[in-house]
Structure 1
């Protein structure tokens, strides 16, 4: 069962490495036999990042995001954690985020028997109101790590390292929103990113829309309080647009 996940991770690491912008562990082999699947990576002696390394990571991430495509998505579907992540190419970012990210997770919640009718009704209102968050803003399709929380970033040999990606071409704001959702990055990281490629002022509101994807995914994976957090975010976003 794990082989497709390992193959997708290898492809993601190779894509990140090919940019020359960020350090990742090199994938050496992927394989399987009747009982096991495996992914063999380059060994790195990982240590925590300090503020100086966080600043270097912020700058490197901005350089990564300069690698762009003409469409949003990826050449194949992959995984966000253990959840399938559909990546069918789409020239329209709002359509991609609405359908391939938020609606996909909402349908998984329905199938998993989580969420009330009222919750899904409010979520649908949000999907129908998304255009309001993008007035005057048209994002580039940037290559992103896709699952960048504090546990997927460290340092080795004096260089920041990121790993366990879920890559696709996206609005780069989606990457920064993920880093803020679960923490683990210092002020130096954000200051360095902003100094290298400043974010649009509308990010302060849109980041909640991007964090919602990961909250829904965690609700599908783990249940618990993540669904309640998603409800709070949906209500906050609806209040922003008066829907």
Structure 2
């Protein structure tokens, strides 16, 4: 029995799947992705030969985002393990057009998401950023959380790329962070919000997926969106209209983005180090 047959048996309880075809979708950096049709409906499938608990934590993240109902997410249909791979089956979202309305709805929806708060920074479960572990053990202070749960673990993983001078600059930066971050309550974040994890569905409805959820500083999420080309200016205007950011946010963007940049160093190699060093040079 192949992967797709096992998926259909596990989710739909049906053995008659010999003629169903799995159509591969390119672009995934961590997992294999594809779609298939079953009884006239299309479904999205992710699979990985060594997913460990990646899909379990992704399912938890999607369900949490669905509960708060701020932005649409794919429906989780099932998760399991075949002889070949771990898999996660989701509803298939037909791709729509990225109109001005789409960016407006995305901005307002994200502002709504960020107004879901918590007593502390973190979450009741750990998860992943890409395939890397992401600790969400709670902290009452954003600065402490950012240092101990975000930057320090990635610095340790990246030790083979970071010379002593760079590591020392991080230590100096840590002692200066109290001068930069405005005091705000924890906000529920998608956690990995870039252009590859959003899309327009039917009637320009925005969808978000592949979450790395936690309660963090909302500015960190907005900063993340500026990486790799950024979002349409309508998105930022709509967010600002719904939930205005504190003054001088633009000056803090680079500090927040040290985390995703270190993640990219650890996932894809040293080509991202130049940007990390540039930021450190500007703030230390």
* TM bucket, shorter chain: over 0.9
Distance 1:73 1:202 in 2: 25
Which residue is equivalent to 1:162?
208
Say whether residues 1:128 and 2:179 are aligned partners. no
Measure how far apart 1:194 and its partner are.
0.2
Which residue is equivalent to 1:101?
150
Greater helix content = 1
Measure how far apart 1:171 and its partner are.
0.6
Which residue is equivalent to 1:40?
89
CA contact (8 A) 1:74 1:168 kept: yes
**Per the alignment, in what secondary structure is the counterpart of residue 198 of structure 1?**
coil
Distance 2:280 2:262 in 1: 11
Measure how far apart 1:52 and its partner are.
1.8
**Deviations 1:8-36 (Å, cap 9, x if unpaired)?**
11111111111111001011111113431
**Deviations 1:37-56 (Å, cap 9, x if unpaired)?**
00000111123422220111
- Of the three residues 86, 105, 127, the one matched with 1:56 is 105
CA contact (8 A) 1:208 1:237 kept: no
**Per the alignment, in what secondary structure is the counterpart of residue 185 of structure 1?**
coil
Distance 2:230 2:256 in 1: 18
**Deviations 1:180-230 (Å, cap 9, x if unpaired)?**
122241010000000000000132222211111001110111113201110
Which residue is equivalent to 1:241?
none
CA contact (8 A) 2:161 2:270 kept: no
Unpaired segments ≥5 residues, structure 1: 239-243
Distance 2:73 2:230 in 1: 18
Say what the alpha-carbon RMSD is for the aligned residues: 1.2
**Per the alignment, in what secondary structure is the counterpart of residue 226 of structure 2?**
helix
**May I ask how many residue pairs the two structures share in their alignment?**
234
List structure 1 runs of 4+ shifted beyond 6 angstroms.
Answer: none
**Per the alignment, in what secondary structure is the counterpart of residue 143 of structure 1?**
strand
Question: TM (normalized to structure 1)?
Answer: 0.93
Distance 2:97 2:57 in 1: 26
Distance 1:15 1:49 in 2: 25
Measure how far apart 1:235 and its partner are.
1.2
Distance 2:248 2:57 in 1: 32
Distance 1:182 1:173 in 2: 17
CA contact (8 A) 1:145 1:168 kept: yes
Say whether residues 1:213 and 2:259 are aligned partners. yes
**Deviations 1:64-119 (Å, cap 9, x if unpaired)?**
10111011001111011111111101111110001100111111111xx1111111
